[in-house]
Amino acid sequence: MASERLRLLAVHAHPDDESSKGAATTARYAAEGAEVLVVSCTGGERGDVLNPSYGEVAPGAMPDVRRAEMAEAARALGVQHRWLGFVDSGLPEGDPLPPLPEGCFALQPLEEAAAPLVAIVREFRPHVITTYDENGGYPHPDHIMCHKVSREAWEAAADPSRYPDAGEPWAALKLYYDVGFSPERIRTLHEEIERRGGTSPFADWLEHMADRPWPARTVTTKVPVADFFEARDAALRAHATQIDPAGFFFLVPRDVEREVWPTEEFELAEARVPTSLPEDDLFAGVRGVVA
């Protein structure tokens, strides 16, 4: 009798987040035969063109452009994809800070925003869910809301008394937070690039961190993914309005990255199965249960 396929659900705020946070991990597990589903909470409609070589997007066309980019990124990673259906909150700036736009994702009542994700969890039945920490990874209002709806879905999808119209209850076994740019990773890559005589893209980051230290996160899980950096990079390039192919994400030499930092990092937030820390596999403790 064949064992059940492993299933991983990665919940992100905008299209392109799935390619800059944990992308090589999702590509690895998909290539190994797991079912991997990426959920984008918003359509990224309020995103600007950040790639100086891209050109202009016709007025009103950004939603369709970003949907097409997301489809190409999903193909590059080998993953399934679903939209949660909410509108990008943008990133208002200024002093005083302007209000978020009416009807945006970050202003939705929690139960209304979480309901479609609860339904996806109960339909897809993931063994593992990844999302952002309570700070959103960085304090974008949509990232913080993504954390809130993911936590709500983790808890509520398993409870038959919650969201009774969202399908049969399902209890995922592990919940992780992505720890993309940890201080340790930044310093290690920076020092190695400079040791080899290169120009590190992290010099300004380290200065900023010295003046304003980042909140410490506990890395519990380092997933080896060096063989999937190419898939990650292809997914990044698919988001052509957002990612400059000559920009930040491509300034770390890949040979340096493979040698000194061949992993992606996560923080185990909750587990319904026993596991031993540290881990090198998001499915540690799950594989035996599923098999």
Please report which helix (H) or strand (E) contains residue 40, including its range: strand 35-42
CA–CA dist 83, 15 (Å, integer): 9
Tell me whether residue 143 is annotated as binding. yes
Tell me whether residue 17 is annotated as binding. yes
Other CB atoms within 10 A of residue 84 CB? 22
Nearest to 146 by CA among 181, 117, 180, 182: 117
Tokens, residue 119: 């339904």
* φ, ψ at 271 (rounded to 5°): -145, 140
Which residues, 6 or more positions from 83, have their beta carbon under 8 angstroms from its beta carbon?
39, 40, 43, 67
Please report which helix (H) or strand (E) contains residue 213, including its range: none
Other CB atoms within 10 A of residue 22 CB? 27
Nearest to 11 by CA among 157, 170, 107, 149: 149
**What is the DSSP secondary structure assignment for residue 128, as one 8-state letter?**
E
DSSP, collapsed to helix, strand or coil, labels residue 162 as coil
CA–CA dist 110, 115 (Å, integer): 8
In terms of phi and psi (left: phi > 0; alpha: psi -120 to 50; beta: otherwise), the region of 20 is alpha
Tell me whether residue 239 is annotated as binding. no
Bind-site residues: 14, 17, 143
Bind-site residues for Zn(2+): 14, 17, 143
